[in-house]
A = this chain, B = another copy of it.
């Protein structure tokens, strides 16, 4: 298996995964999509580009990393060679309860830096945990409060057993409360449903949107607070901001926000103000404009600030050289 299961899985393509630097729900175990790519074939107006003769080498800059994230601006990806792993024989999910988001995040950091990551690892903040518990099927099923973490293990029975034992010992030692398999399985069952909710909620007058970012561990709590404050500042006190961490690294983690507020008569400009405020909070507090949603049109105005004028010059130079007449995905990526 490739092990790449983003929420867009039901509609996405493999070339799209590459040029958008997608990251899936099992990234803790399998890695982000860009880390799974070993080779790319790219059709460009200048001819075909064949990249990736080895896992890694020292033959100059890694041009695969220039194509990944390019969103079609430098060429059309016609083939992707990827790293696959054996199909897991066992999949098992569990829930853990933490007293606070900060304590849960610290536990994730410990796991990542100990090289002890489960296949799936995510942590909901207090608000997101409360909302999930409010689902009719689960009311009264578990004690309220705190933050829910999901741990998922996939692999051979022996590997799953060993990893689960080691992770369980670490998490219990850090103050986590094991909730058993029920909440883990509930997450797994509903993992692809989220994106379908937005339009139904808009129909009943609730504006729901999502956004995400990534930063280093030392900056995580700061960015979490700054983005929440920006969203509430733009949308009003009655706005509900939920957040989870679902992609972790030794050096940092992503933050994924879900925002719900009363829809204005014109929800598009309402959201635009909030999106601008939150994006500014990310970039100006040293985080990235996007962890895995790519640049597209929403984030394009912020890319120049993120990579700086010299970075923009580099992208423009490659674009001008490879696609001088601008036939490839016009208007995309290049600030």
Q: Are A62 and B68 in contact (CB under 8 A)?
A: yes
Q: Are A216 and B65 in contact (CB under 8 A)?
A: no
How far is A309 from B53 in the complex, measured between Cα atoms in Å? 16
How far is A283 from B292 in the complex, measured between Cα atoms in Å? 34
**Interface-centre pick from A66, A250, A308 (highest chain B CB count, 10 A):** A66
Q: Are B317 and A317 in contact (CB under 8 A)?
A: yes
Any B CB within 8 A of the CB of A107: no
Any B CB within 8 A of the CB of A67: yes
The interface residues of chain B lying within 8 Å CB-to-CB of A309 are: 46-47
- Closest chain B CB from A4 CB (angstroms): 14
Q: Are B313 and A321 in contact (CB under 8 A)?
A: yes
- Closest chain B CB from A56 CB (angstroms): 6
The interface residues of chain B lying within 8 Å CB-to-CB of A308 are: 47-50
Interface residues on A, range: 35 or more
**B34, B59, B83, B287: which contacts A307 (Cβ < 8 A)?**
B59
Q: Are A216 and B51 in contact (CB under 8 A)?
A: no
Stretch at the interface among A93-101, A260-268, A293-301: A293-301
- Within A266-294, the residues touching B (CB, 8 Å) are 286-294
- Closest chain B CB from A142 CB (angstroms): 32
Q: Are A306 and B215 in contact (CB under 8 A)?
A: no
Any B CB within 8 A of the CB of A140: no
Any B CB within 8 A of the CB of A329: no
The interface residues of chain B lying within 8 Å CB-to-CB of A243 are: none
The interface residues of chain B lying within 8 Å CB-to-CB of A303 are: 59-60
Q: Are A216 and B38 in contact (CB under 8 A)?
A: yes
Any B CB within 8 A of the CB of A174: no
Further 19 A-B residue pairs, CB within 8 A, beyond A38-B216, A60-B69: A44-B310, A49-B311, A51-B311, A53-B215, A53-B306, A54-B252, A54-B287, A57-B214, A57-B289, A57-B291, A58-B292, A59-B303, A60-B307, A61-B315, A62-B65, A64-B65, A114-B159, A162-B166, A318-B318
Sort A-B residue pairs by CB-CB distance and give the 7 closest, nearest first. Answer: A65-B65, A317-B321, A55-B249, A57-B288, A21-B58, A54-B214, A49-B310
